Amino acid sequence: MTAADATPAADVPTAASRAPGNRAAEPPASGAPAADAPATASGTPASGPTVGDGSAGPDPAAVRLAAQVNEARGEAERRLGILLTEASATRLVATMPVEGNRQPFGLLHGGVSVVLAETLGSVGATLGAPPGSIAVGIEVSATHHRSATSGIVTGVATRVHGGRTLTTYDIRITDEAGRAVCTSRLTCMILPAPPETGQP
């Protein structure tokens, strides 16, 4: 668990400052898509404009919400160069440069991959948390499949469980060729937000 997990205002918009119309924290209506179905920031299925291969592109609302989250990034995310490109309670996408995040042998540091994974899952859990609550990471695991030495890696987080007290995400990090670099799983606990202290 990082300090960023316990203070959502440092990393993601709070419930009061979420994008207008974002109803990710509300339970789906009868007949709504399952919690693990790709969805937009409003909780509806992603059906954005199609891209060259005919598949659905990113939902515009998820792209706008990602831009808002990027404005509120914490110190770690800024230093590592993590940038969200899509954000919703059920699916998030972010990129991160390999350069500047390598260990002494010139490979992407495994711990940095875990930071990317935990950032994605923590942001998603916070977006899906009810107003007046926070999401705190309580367990993270990662398997490193191959090294990356340059370029950009992309993380995609998909919610696999969205309960009232626990939320779990699967995160897949790939290189520019689409090869798996790391797979991770993060579980967050949903807690009442601490009272405002009035201190900076």
**Pairing mode, if any, of strands 166-174 and 133-144?**
unpaired
Q: Are 63 and 36 in contact (CB under 8 A)?
A: no
Q: Is 176 known to be catalytic?
A: no
Quote helix, strand, coil % in the chain, to nearest 5: 25, 30, 45
Candidates 26, 86, 99, 118; catalytic one: 118
Distance (Å, rounded) from C-alpha 88 to C-alpha 125? 9
| Number of other CB atoms surrounding residue 125 within 10 Å | 30
Distance (Å, rounded) from C-alpha 110 to C-alpha 19? 33
Burial of 152 (0-12, 13-18, 19+ CB in 10 A): middle
Question: What residues are annotated to the active site?
Answer: 118
